Structure 1
Amino acid sequence: MKKKLSIKLIVIMLSPIIFIANIITKRYPKFIENYYSTSANKGIRQLLSLITSIFPTSLAEFLIPSLFLILIVGFIFLLVKIKKGGFSEQVINLSTYVSVLYVLFMVLWGFNYNRLSFDKIAGLEITRSSKQELYDLCESLIDRANTLRGKVEENSQGVMTVSGGYKDVFKRAQKGYDKAAKLYPELGGKYGPPKKILVSKKMSYTGITGIYIPYTGEANVNINITDYMLPNTAAHEMAHQRGFAREDEANYIAYIACTMHPDADFQYSGVMLAIVYSMNALADVDRDMYKQLLKSYTPGVRRDINNDIEFWQKYKGKVEEVANKVNNTYLKSNGQQDGVQSYGRMVDLLLAEYKKEK
């Protein structure tokens, strides 16, 4: 009994040690990049991903509810023990369980929040940009989308479609990363393909389009979304799989992986993702400029955007509000806050790339 108690206490003590290590390593991103993200942790992520890829369905979809249920049951037992005795023992058991989850999260993936920012990795210089520069970026992206729109398939309603569905998207998604890895080796590696979320329709009520679970190394995608968003969503979750934890950077990496993809539907999806963020930023700073550019959409691009808006209107409600609050709390707890960036990190990365290419 004493041996078991000692082991539990050691496990519990690991949490504050890891927590302090997390705070300290935020100041040393190059160390994390060299000795965690691109070395030890990369090997762990790839191995875990390849093992779980043996299973056709998402293990995370079953694991997460199970872990949460165990936590709830643990709290119930804790309340029962207040009256029946054994309270301190149950506190230790519950603390051990939570500590294991936290330590595993950090070891398997969590320290990636402290790695070098992608602008440093990509050699991009983020500086403040004017409204005109943002306008020019949006105009350039719209020109690209208008051209690519003519190369993709559409359904009877005139909306962009992927004839092979999500399975075809998942099968081809790796091609973009293979090409991107030649420019950015940090995006390379062997990982399992994206997996569909079985409860995708229910997940749509939360507004969540995908989720990466470090415990299984799986890139899970909500397949109940519009086809033009499927490729960039898969690429986004694959960016997390490759150790890029920040949401905004995962968006930019998804844009890169899609636009470097050999197939037009992926390229279009990547450019459209960039347009959504850039045009929203422009709308916030200058509504007239935004409205002016809206007129330059081709009918096909406009149909795709309107179809996506109409699709998500069906799922708006309290569930989405709660999910957003929970997600925002999680992101803030992991330090995902922009510094001097003026339009948000995703748009600032796009602007930095645009100015560098010019």
Structure 2
Amino acid sequence: MITAFESFFEIQKKIHQLLFSWIPFSVGDLLYLLLGTYLFYLITKCFKKRSRQQSILKALILINILYFTYQIFWGMLYFQTPIIARLPEKEITLKERKKLALRYLEKCKQTRMFVTEDQHGIFIIADIKSIESEILHQQTKLPTIISDKKVSSINSFKSSLFKNVMSFTGILGYYNPFTAEAQYNCELPSSYLPFTVAHESAHQLGFAREQEANFIGYLVGVDSPNIELRYSTEYFTLKTLLNSMVYEDEQFVEYILKNYSDGMKRDRAFEKKFVLKHQGLLNDFFGITNNLFLKSNQQEGSVTYSYFIDLLVRYEK
């Protein structure tokens, strides 16, 4: 049953990419904007007694069509066999995570020395298109034990039309199953951006679960010759490891943070500044709704890192 949906996903993805990838702006975002406007129109019509019944009926029909299409195009992929079933069992200890954190600290410090900086000494991306091309290339090198997905050479990465709003929601990127576009917020700090694109490319491959997309993004970026993609991937991995043990050994986390290189400290300060600038009710609202969405699709909540760490530790071993 799931295999049939996976095959159908590959077919519709290829068709959608051929139809929409060449268009320079996000077709999916435009589609969402039009649908949202039409739904808002129907809701306003519901307040008029004469058209209330017909408007409610139209809204329910539209919502059901969208939900059914979403499930056929994407939702059923949440029921694929988890990646973790392909990896050997391993106890995920605090000692093991500390060892990995120290390793990725040194990797980050070394890689950070070779990236481009702006006038303030903060990591900046020189060419996002070269990173997108590298991600597509690295997908062809994914271990067969992890992925047997069909890799497309079509570049269907798009900067979101809602980038200004996204900065206030905490959403870094998303995959649009109706157009097969991998969306990202181009206003993100450069330390976030390459790994975010790699993460969304994993959804584009057909990995629906968020933490599995993180893991595929990690595999895509961790050994890449593209220094920007590799640094962003290593830095994400380090931060995730630290987040996983901040409540178990706060002193160790503080030790790692103090031993960041000067460049890494500047990047971290810029990330914190970006987050503080865009905090607010919208951020809290989308954090809650995203958490509920993940749990409704058989996933851990948005603040949980254990599954990615499980995959990382098992794969490293």
Structure 1 residue identity aligned to 2:240: Y
CA distance in structure 2 between the partners assigned to 1:176 and 1:142 by the alignment: 23
Larger Rg: 1
- Post-superposition offset of 1:182: 6.2
CA distance in structure 2 between the partners assigned to 1:85 and 1:274 by the alignment: 54
- Post-superposition offset of 1:225: 0.9
* Residue of structure 2 in register with 1:45 after alignment: 13
> Structure 1 residues 292 and 53, CA, compared in 2 at 3 Å: closer, same or farther?
same
* Residue of structure 2 in register with 1:94 after alignment: 59
CA distance in structure 1 between the partners assigned to 2:199 and 2:278 by the alignment: 22
* Residue of structure 1 in register with 2:42 after alignment: 74
* Aligned pairs (5 A) from 1:268-283: 268-283=231-246
* Residue of structure 2 in register with 1:251 after alignment: 214
Pick aligned residue for 2:284 from 317, 321, 334: 321
Pick aligned residue for 1:351 from 310, 313, 317: 313
* Aligned pairs (5 A) from 1:129-168: 129-164=92-127, 166-168=128-130
- Post-superposition offset of 1:180: 2.3
- Post-superposition offset of 1:46: 2.2
CA distance in structure 2 between the partners assigned to 1:329 and 1:133 by the alignment: 31
- 8 A contact 2:45–2:51 mirrored in 1: no
* Residue of structure 1 in register with 2:138 after alignment: 176
CA distance in structure 1 between the partners assigned to 2:179 and 2:151 by the alignment: 19
Q: Which has the larger displacement, 155-164 or 107-116? A: 155-164
Which secondary structure state, in structure 2, belongs to the residue aligned with residue 107 of structure 1? Answer: helix
* Residue of structure 2 in register with 1:36 after alignment: 5
- Note the residue ranges of structure 2 that are not aligned, 5 or more in a row: none
- Post-superposition offset of 1:113: 0.8
* Residue of structure 2 in register with 1:62 after alignment: 30
Pick aligned residue for 1:116 from 75, 81, 92: 81
- Post-superposition offset of 1:62: 1.2
> Structure 1 residues 284 and 125, CA, compared in 2 at 3 Å: closer, same or farther?
farther
> TM-score normalised to the size of structure 2?
0.91
> Structure 1 residues 35 and 157, CA, compared in 2 at 3 Å: closer, same or farther?
same
> Structure 1 residues 49 and 85, CA, compared in 2 at 3 Å: closer, same or farther?
closer
> Structure 1 residues 319 and 74, CA, compared in 2 at 3 Å: closer, same or farther?
same
* Residue of structure 2 in register with 1:84 after alignment: 50
CA distance in structure 1 between the partners assigned to 2:52 and 2:261 by the alignment: 69
Q: Which has the larger displacement, 290-299 or 177-186? A: 177-186
CA distance in structure 2 between the partners assigned to 1:86 and 1:59 by the alignment: 31
> TM-score normalised to the size of structure 1?
0.81
Which secondary structure state, in structure 1, belongs to the residue aligned with residue 140 of structure 2? Answer: helix
Q: Deviations over 1:306-349 (max 9, x none)?
A: 221122211111111111112122222222138xxx95211111
2:176 matches 1:213: yes
Which secondary structure state, in structure 2, belongs to the residue aligned with residue 252 of structure 1? Answer: helix
Q: What percent of counterpart residues are identical?
A: 26
* Residue of structure 1 in register with 2:264 after alignment: 301
- Post-superposition offset of 1:253: 1.1
CA distance in structure 2 between the partners assigned to 1:173 and 1:133 by the alignment: 29
- Post-superposition offset of 1:42: 1.4
- Post-superposition offset of 1:195: 0.7
- Post-superposition offset of 1:101: 0.3
- 8 A contact 1:204–1:222 mirrored in 2: yes
CA distance in structure 2 between the partners assigned to 1:336 and 1:263 by the alignment: 31
| Higher-helix-fraction structure | 1
Which secondary structure state, in structure 2, belongs to the residue aligned with residue 228 of structure 1? Answer: coil
Aligned residues: 314
CA distance in structure 1 between the partners assigned to 2:89 and 2:182 by the alignment: 29
Which secondary structure state, in structure 1, belongs to the residue aligned with residue 102 of structure 2? Answer: helix
CA distance in structure 2 between the partners assigned to 1:85 and 1:233 by the alignment: 44
- Post-superposition offset of 1:204: 0.3
CA distance in structure 2 between the partners assigned to 1:159 and 1:276 by the alignment: 17
Which secondary structure state, in structure 2, belongs to the residue aligned with residue 103 of structure 1? Answer: helix
CA distance in structure 2 between the partners assigned to 1:85 and 1:65 by the alignment: 23
- 8 A contact 2:168–2:282 mirrored in 1: yes
Structure 2 residue identity aligned to 1:40: F
